[in-house]
Amino acid sequence: MGHLSQIELLLPELRAYARSICGPAESAEDLVQDAIERALRHDTRPVRLEELRPWMFRVIRNLQYDELRKRRVRREYIAVQKRLMDESDGTGSEGRDVLIRLAFEKLPPEIREVLFLIDIMGFKYAEAAEVMNVPIGTIMSRVSRARKELLRRVNGDGQNEEQTKQTP
Give me the tens of pLDDT residue by residue for the chain, a chain 168 residues long: 455 688 899 999 999 999 988 877 778 999 999 999 998 888 888 888 899 999 999 999 999 998 888 888 888 888 877 776 666 555 555 677 788 888 888 888 888 899 888 888 888 899 889 989 999 999 999 999 998 988 888 887 654 444 434 444
DSSP of 94-112: HHHHHHHHHHHHHS-HHHH
d(CA 64, CA 103): 34
d(CA 61, CA 125): 22
d(CA 62, CA 34): 11
Helix (H) or strand (E) run with residue 124 in it: none
d(CA 127, CA 43): 20
pTM beyond 0.85: the answer is no
